[in-house]
Amino acid sequence: MIETIKELCNLKGTSGWEVAVREYIKKRIKPFATEIREDIMGNLIVFKKGQKRRNNPFMVCAHMDEVGLIIKDITEEGYLSFDFAGGVDRRVIIGKRVLVGEKGIPGIIGMKAVHLTTKEERKKTPKLSELCIDIGCEKKAAAEKLVSLGDYAVFDSPIRELGENKIKARALDDRFGCGVMLKLIESELSYDTFFVFTVQEEVGCRGAEIAAFGVKPDFALVLEATTAADIPVSEGSNKVCVLGKGAVIGCVDGGAIYDKRLFALLRGIAEEKGVSWQIKTRVAGATDARSIHVSRKGVRTTSLSLPTRYIHSPSCVADIRDMESVFTLARELISCEEEKLNA
């Protein structure tokens, strides 16, 4: 699974431009899926038959897109102005490398040299309009030959091991979730299950909205990467969640109050199987659950998330043991008989 997640993280897939991720997933699941279809926005909807039928359909979902940059303008001097696709703190992109467009043209986001700044300037984050991508072109015309307005750019950040149990990668949010789903699809399932790889989560959980409408599930499980701020500047609840302390079971976040019964069920499974788990200690962030749980007449929705440091930056860091915890709990949950889900 870890290797799959790494491969997925290497793919480029900013919100609205998930094609590479989708094609990869399609190829991988073809031998294992019962039915694969793609909807109008590009969500990949996969049905896999299990040993038993479910009367109340269960949908597992993870998003394919990642935060990134979108080219808005090309200056006379050949620099690329950009905006963010998804929420990015502009403080984490300065001095970083990006890959622009499908061809992956290398570019960098520089900043005026420290020697040329005042003390006051150094205290302020540059405005987005003051930052740009430098691909080396000196004239607008030259840059226009390589880049079109609306092209996407992703961070150029290779995957690395960090310490004994952690990895650093660009798009762990949410290729991690995609990786867990691939692994589930590739295994034998007890029950029929829908798996949805969604688009455009980072710009407002938009893919999940139509996917949930189309699949009409009674239950949904969202697999996500979530904000961890367990760094020395954060104390107590401000850490939100902690790497290495297990899967985050959805309780309340900025987008949804998760189903209480599924929460209790997951907690019970975790305790019984000795899988470490935690909840988020701040109401922050949101997942596709935001759209799913209010779909049609309502969907009982829960989530399992991976604590991720420096999320939405070029260098997300997460713990491999937490990934395993999420996988185990996800597998157990979708193997639960209906009475248990409805208990």
Partner 1 sequence: MLDILSTIEKLCEYPSPSGFEHSASKRVENIMSRVMDKVEHDAFGNVYGIKKCGKKGAKCILLDAHIDEIGLMVTGTKNGFLTFTTLGGVDPRILPATEVLVLTNPPRFGVITALPPHLQSEKEMENAFDIENLCIDIGAEKDEKTVPCGTPVIFSSGCVKLCENYISARALDDRGGLVAILTAIDMLKSKKLSCDVVVLASVQEEVGCRGAKIAGFSVNPDLAIAVDVTHAHTPGADKTSTFKSGSGVAIGVGPNMTKKISDALISVAKDKKIPHTIEVCAGHSGTNAWVLQTAREGIATGLLSIPLKYMHTPVETVKKKDIEATAKLICEFLLNLSSGGIKL
Q: What is the set of active-site residues?
A: 201
Instruction: Please report how the helices 2-9 and 19-29 are oriented relative to each other, as an axis angle in degrees rounded to 10.
Output: 150
**Binding-site member from 50, 110, 204, 214 for partner 1 (CB under 8 A):** 110
What is the contact mask toward partner 1 in residues 37 to 76, using x (rule: CB under 8 A)?
A: --------------------------------------x-
Beta carbons of 83 and 70 less than 8 angstroms apart? yes
Q: Residues 125 to 154: which contact partner 1 by CB under 8 A?
A: 125-126, 130, 132, 134-138, 142-143, 146
d(CA 80, CA 22): 27
Instruction: Please report how the helices 2-9 and 172-185 are oriented relative to each other, as an axis angle in degrees rounded to 10.
Output: 130
d(CA 94, CA 56): 48
Instruction: Please report how the helices 2-9 and 320-334 are oriented relative to each other, as an axis angle in degrees rounded to 10.
Output: 110
Dihedral pair phi/psi, residue 221, rounded to 5°: -125, 125
Q: Is 242 in the site for partner 1 (CB under 8 A)?
A: no
Nearer to partner 1, 109 or 215 (CB): 109
Nearer to partner 1, 41 or 142 (CB): 142
Q: How many residues bind partner 1 (CB under 8 A)?
A: 73
d(CA 210, CA 223): 17
**Binding-site member from 1, 19, 41, 108 for partner 1 (CB under 8 A):** 108
Q: Residues 161 to 190: which contact partner 1 by CB under 8 A?
A: 161-166, 168
C-alpha closest to that of 320 among 187, 159, 92, 186 = 159
d(CA 196, CA 291): 13
Nearer to partner 1, 23 or 76 (CB): 76
**Binding-site member from 41, 111, 203, 279 for partner 1 (CB under 8 A):** 111
Least Å distance, CB 229 to partner 1, is 6
d(CA 1, CA 264): 27
C-alpha closest to that of 196 among 226, 170, 223 = 223
Least Å distance, CB 198 to partner 1, is 19
Nearer to partner 1, 173 or 192 (CB): 173
**Binding-site member from 104, 150, 254, 268 for partner 1 (CB under 8 A):** 254
3-state secondary structure of 143: helix
**Binding-site member from 190, 234, 281, 342 for partner 1 (CB under 8 A):** 234
**Binding-site member from 3, 31, 40, 113 for partner 1 (CB under 8 A):** 113
Q: Residues 280 to 339: which contact partner 1 by CB under 8 A?
A: 282, 284-285, 309-315, 317
Q: Which stretch binds partner 1 (CB under 8 A): 29-37, 39-47, 190-198, 238-246?
A: 238-246
Q: Which stretch binds partner 1 (CB under 8 A): 30-38, 110-118, 267-275, 324-332?
A: 110-118
Least Å distance, CB 262 to partner 1, is 23
Beta carbons of 311 and 230 less than 8 angstroms apart? no
Q: Provide the residue count of the chain.
A: 343
Least Å distance, CB 75 to partner 1, is 7
Cis peptide before 259 (omega within 30 of 0): no
Q: 323 vs 69, 91, 259, CA distance in Å?
A: 27, 28, 22
